[in-house]
Amino acid sequence: MRRLRGRLIQPFLKEYHLQKTDLVMPLFIDETADRLTPIPAMPCQFRYPPGDIGSAVLRLQEKGIGAVLLFGIPAHKDPGASGSYNPEGVIQEAVRRVKSVAPGILVITDVCACEYTDHGHCGIVGEGLYGMDLQNDPSLELIARIAVSHARAGADFVAPSCMLDGMVSVIRQALDDEGFQETGIMSYSTKFASALYSPFREAADSGFRYGDRSTYQIHPGNFREAVRESEIDALEGADILMVKPGGFYLDLVASIRELGLPVAVYQVSGEYAMIKAAAMNGWIDERNVVMESLICAKRAGADLIITYYAADAAGWLDEEQRLL
């Protein structure tokens, strides 16, 4: 085995490679911010004021990042998430801005209601069997409406993250009905009820006021259910599937990619925060840990990796290239 690990032959025998076109950078646009706002639980990540999103995307493009996933934080929240489908809403404006300054960037928008509802749940809530909870069917129309408004603003892909049953089929139908046959759907198809989302909920101001998301997201111990979630979304017309979070859940990727669709892996806020915190303490080497986490997602079968480290990784890839 050692002959194949010789310093000169080794680079030729790498089975997987990380490329900039694997990477998607999530960005937060905050309608209430008038300057770049640091996110405490995600050091080096920021909420962008609407006016700064164009230049932020141009900087990413310079580094070779070609895809962004946009999240909006609205000035106003209400039970029906009215800000989420407003044609002049924070995300709709941001999409138009990004598309006008950088038409070559792939724009994916997170489609969910939790940043826009005052209760913080991912759709319409009501009294259920076990108290107040997300109401699946009444939320579908809202989700479809959000997706269409993003498509109308110019999003290339919409990414529903609400884990509603039937979300992909209602979105596909609504997009087709409104003339957006070309708009793709990247479904958060296999999304676990993970404790790793808490820095994000601070970042996007989307924490729930009561309850939790365990009635609509998958329990971390469930494998077959997790595969079935993606299978259903594939049948409903999703173009790209997703496994979220990444690191703890890479075993799912191998099975889900057998469905035949491209698979994205989302290295979530808590994964970012854990690496960053250890690195800031000098306990691990940030660059090596990040690059290891990303190549392992590739090895597991990821076609795309959504990561808050996308911009850093692009820089590190450039450095590796120079060393060859």
Point out the residues that are catalytic.
191, 244
Sequence-separated (6 or more) residues with CB below 8 Å from residue 75: 31, 32, 83, 90
Say whether residue 112 binds ligand PBG (CB under 6 A). yes
Say whether residue 110 binds ligand PBG (CB under 6 A). yes
* Phi and psi angles of residue 105, each rounded to the nearest 5 degrees, phi first: -85, 135
Question: What is the signed CA dihedral for 291, 231, 216, 142, rounded to 10 degrees?
Answer: 100
Stretch 165-204: interaction string toward ligand PBG, x if CB under 6 A: --------------------------------x--xx---
- Considering only residues 103 through 142, tell me which ones interact with Zn ion, judged by CB under 5 A: 112, 114, 122
Q: Which is nearer to ligand PBG, 101 or 132 (CB)?
A: 132
Question: What is the signed CA dihedral for 95, 98, 102, 108, rounded to 10 degrees?
Answer: -50
Say whether residue 69 binds Zn ion (CB under 5 A). no
Q: How far is the CB of 110 from ligand PBG (least distance, A)?
A: 5
Query: Which residue among 96, 97, 172, 213 contacts ligand PBG (CB under 6 A)?
Result: 213
Say whether residue 114 binds ligand PBG (CB under 6 A). yes
Among Zn ion, ligand PBG, none, residue 269 binds (CB under 5-8 Å by kind): ligand PBG
Please work out the total of residues on this chain that contact Zn ion, with binding judged by CB under 5 A: 3
- Considering only residues 35 through 94, tell me which ones interact with ligand PBG, judged by CB under 6 A: none
Sequence-separated (6 or more) residues with CB below 8 Å from residue 29: 47, 48, 49, 50, 53, 70, 71, 72, 73, 90, 91, 94
Say whether residue 161 binds ligand PBG (CB under 6 A). yes
Query: Which residue among 261, 268, 290, 305 contacts ligand PBG (CB under 6 A)?
Result: 268
* Phi and psi angles of residue 306, each rounded to the nearest 5 degrees, phi first: -90, 120
Q: How far is the CB of 199 from ligand PBG (least distance, A)?
A: 7
Amino acid at site 151:
A
Sequence-separated (6 or more) residues with CB below 8 Å from residue 59: 311
3-state DSSP call for residue 122? coil
